[in-house]
Structure 1
Amino acid sequence: MKLYKVYLFDFDYTLADSSRGIVMCFRNVLERHQHTGITDDEIKRTIGKTLQESFSILTGITDADTLEAYKKEYVKEADVHMTVNTFLFPETEEVLTRLKTCGAKIGIISTKYRYRIMELLSKKLPSNFLDIIVGGEDVKEPKPSPEGVLLAIKELGCNKEEVLYIGDSIVDAETAQAAQVDFAGVLHGATTREELSAYSHVEIMKSLSEL
């Protein structure tokens, strides 16, 4: 794989495993509203989508006000449970450090709130280690809209040809496609190699170490 000048990463299931916290928060909200029979795997399959989309998929609810209310309840749950139940993948710190040593710029594009990402990474990485973090509160349209990636490209002053976007899900593959940047998939999450391979990619990796 060629060396890029900019590496933009998804967060959940790409750099970190937050599935324990995510499942816990979803389950607390779902059970509070008597939504039963939903498996952990079904919840994990929605990781990467917006909270409203995820709740709609899991419950069948389409009413915008109800979905917004569930989102707000989830955020309150996440304030308590998310960071303590999120762990970087074993290779994450080493890979990011090596990329920085090679002179690359590093960023994160996520539907997760920026402050939540920073809360976790502040305990793991030096301050100002990342060149940019674009969270869900920083864009008008969530992934797979290219807005977040294009914002990072503009802020970092680079060309699309110099950028690799790395993610674990179909949403990430579609985001890279919409932004017209190269995509590399990583098989940390619930999405299969076959599902990711259906999209244009430079690599489908078992772990970030292959970067």
Structure 2
Amino acid sequence: MKQYKAYLFDFDYTLADSSRGIVKCFRNVLERHGYKGIEDFTIKRTIGKTLEDSFSILTGVTDASVLETYRKEYVKEADLYMTVNTFLFPEVADTLLALKKQGAKIGIISTKYRYRIMELMGQKLPEGILDIVVGGEDVTAHKPSPEGLCLALEKLDVQAEDTLYIGDSIVDAETAQAGHVDFLGVLHGMTSREELEAYPHVEVVADLKALLNH
């Protein structure tokens, strides 16, 4: 694998496992509105999508005002339960530190809110590791739109050909493709190797330590 000038990461199921908190928050909102019996696996398969899209998938609701209500309730639940139930994957801190020492720029592109990401990463990583975090509140079009990716490239002053985007889902693969950057798939999440390999990719790997094998 070549060495890139910038490494941009998805967050959920790429850098961190927040599935315990996500499932709890979704379940609290869903059950409050009478949606019972939805399996954890089904909820986890929506991770990486916007909250509105996830609730629509899980409930069948398409009314934008209802989905916005669910989103607001989820955010309140997440204020209580998300950060405490989110854990970086074991290799993440060492990998990001090593990439930073090589002179690379490091960023996160996520549908998750930026403040939520910063809250966790501020507890887990030394200051200055992250050069940019683009969250759901920073864009008008969410992944797989390349808007967040393009914003990061502009702010970091790097070219698409010098950038690697790392993610765990089909949405991430589609985002990289739309932004004309190389894609590395990581198998931390709910998406299979075969699903990721169906898209243009540099490699599909078990964990992020593979980024250090130049």
TM-score range normalised by the length of the shorter chain: over 0.9
Aligned equivalent of 2:124? 124
Aligned equivalent of 2:3? 3
* Paired positions, count: 211
State the secondary structure of the residue aligned to 2:120: helix
Q: For 1:157 and 1:147, how far apart are their aligned partners in 2?
A: 15
In the TM superposition, what are the counterparts of 1:123-202 in structure 2 within 5 Å?
Answer: 123-202=123-202
In the TM superposition, what are the counterparts of 1:102-121 in structure 2 within 5 Å?
Answer: 102-121=102-121
Unaligned stretches of 5+ residues in structure 2: none
Note the aligned Cα RMSD (angstroms). 0.5
Q: Does 1:71 align with 2:71?
A: yes
Aligned equivalent of 2:53? 53
Q: TM-score, normalised by structure 1?
A: 0.99
Post-superposition Cα deviations, 1:100-120, rounded to whole Å, max 9, x if no partner, equal: 011100000000000000000
CA displacement at 1:25 relative to structure 2: 0.2
The share of aligned pairs that are identical, in percent, is: 72
Q: Does 1:95 align with 2:89?
A: no
State the secondary structure of the residue aligned to 1:68: helix
Post-superposition Cα deviations, 1:69-99, rounded to whole Å, max 9, x if no partner, equal: 0000000000000000000000000000010
CA displacement at 1:44 relative to structure 2: 0.2
Q: For 1:88 and 1:193, how far apart are their aligned partners in 2?
A: 21
CA displacement at 1:161 relative to structure 2: 0.4
Q: Quick check: 2:146–2:175 contact (8 Å CA) kept in 1? A: yes
Aligned equivalent of 2:38? 38
Q: Does 1:24 align with 2:24?
A: yes
CA displacement at 1:128 relative to structure 2: 2.4
Q: For 2:184 and 2:127, how far apart are their aligned partners in 1?
A: 27
Q: For 2:138 and 2:127, how far apart are their aligned partners in 1?
A: 20
Q: TM-score, normalised by structure 2?
A: 0.98
Q: For 2:145 and 2:128, how far apart are their aligned partners in 1?
A: 26
Unaligned stretches of 5+ residues in structure 1: none
